[in-house]
Structure formats: structure tokens, C-alpha cells
Amino acid sequence: TCALPILGLLAIMTYETWFVLGSGAWTWRATWINLPGIPLFIGVAVYCMATISTALPVENNMRDPAQFSWFFSATMYLVFLMLSVFGSFGYVAFGSDTQDVITLNLPATSIFYLLTASICLCLVLTYPAQIFPVIEICEKHVFFERAYAAKLNPMLLYWLQNAFRSFIVLTTVVAAVCI
């Protein structure tokens, strides 16, 4: 699933470049500041960094946790650079007509429906990794701070933890769909 977002970004940027260069008479159509759009921008920027919740499990599982600081900083700068370049491409290509979801600016062809479906699939598959820190904290309270957990068969505890994780993921997914 790691290749899907990268291929999607490349496909969208290729279309945007083709759109800008192929239109012949390219003009600057971008608005410099869109004040009513600032809250949406902040929300999208925060969402793009939403995987920060996986930072603690990554640090806890590193061979040398002292290296985490520079690794985390480098990763955040790389993500910032990728998102800035990607956003700039879209804004230069479509200007003020840029939709909130960039795939809505793409032509309605089967390749771009496939692209949208692959992006959705990637989001669905990465959701359990994003909610993992929350599940890890909940598991400590439910399974490891209770006297009965020490008395359980390790295999039963393993399956109870997996059932608990699945329940949390499915409950939050159902809640999101209902909202």
C-alpha cells in the first residue's frame, strides 16, 4: 500500500503538468490570499500531519531511540516539502477553480476513477496504524492493569486483544460513516 499514494501523487502531478503545458495560453489564475478558505487550509494541514500519533510507537521500537529526534524532524520536513510541492502544482494548474479534493479537478475517465479508488483503499488500510497508539493506551487499562489479565491463558489474551482492537477500529469506522 506504500506505493499507491506515491503513484497517485505522480499521476495527478503528471496530469496537472500536462494541463498547464497543453493548454497553450497559460495564464496565472491563482488568487494570492483566499481569506474564507483559511480555516479549511488549517484543517487540511492538520489532517496531513495526523499520522504524528504513530511517533511514540516508532520511537519505542527503534534500536537507538536517541536518533528519533533527527529522524522525526527529517521525516516531517520531507512530508511538508512533498505536500507543498503537490499543493502548488494543483494551484498553478487550476488556480482559483481548484476543488477541495484535487481528484475532483481531474477528468472523469476510468484511470482517474481507479486512482481515486486506490487513494481511498490506502486511507482505509492505514487507519488501523493511525489509531494504534489509542488502542495501545486502552489495552493497558483493559488488560494489563486488571488482576484477571494475569490469570488468563496467553493465547486467550492474544485473541482477546485482537478482538478488542478489531472492535475499536470497527466502532470508529461505523461512527465515521454515520456522521
- pLDDT by position in tens, the chain (length 179): 567 777 777 888 888 777 777 765 455 555 566 677 778 777 777 766 666 666 767 777 778 888 888 888 888 888 888 888 887 777 777 777 778 778 888 888 888 888 888 888 887 887 787 788 788 888 888 877 666 666 778 888 888 889 998 999 889 889 988 88
What pLDDT is stored for residue 167 in this prediction? Answer: 92
Q: Are 80 and 86 in contact (CB under 8 A)?
A: no
Could you give the CA distance from residue 25 to residue 95 in angstroms, rounded to a whole number?
Answer: 14
Residues ≥6 apart with Cβ < 8 Å to 175: none
Identify the CA nearest to 153 among candidates 161, 165, 145, 141.
161
User: 64: alpha, beta or left, given left = phi > 0 and alpha = psi -120 to 50?
Assistant: beta
DSSP3 helix / strand / coil % (the chain, rounded to 5): 85, 0, 15
Tell me: the pLDDT tens digits for 93-141? 777 777 877 888 888 888 888 888 888 888 788 778 778 878 888 888 8
Number of H helices, E strands in the chain: 7, 0
What pLDDT is stored for residue 25 in this prediction? Answer: 46
What pLDDT is stored for residue 14 in this prediction? Answer: 82
What pLDDT is stored for residue 23 in this prediction? Answer: 64
If 0-12 CB within 10 Å is exposed, 13-18 middle and 19+ buried, where does residue 89 land?
buried
Query: DSSP letter at 146?
Result: S
| Single pTM value for the model | 0.59
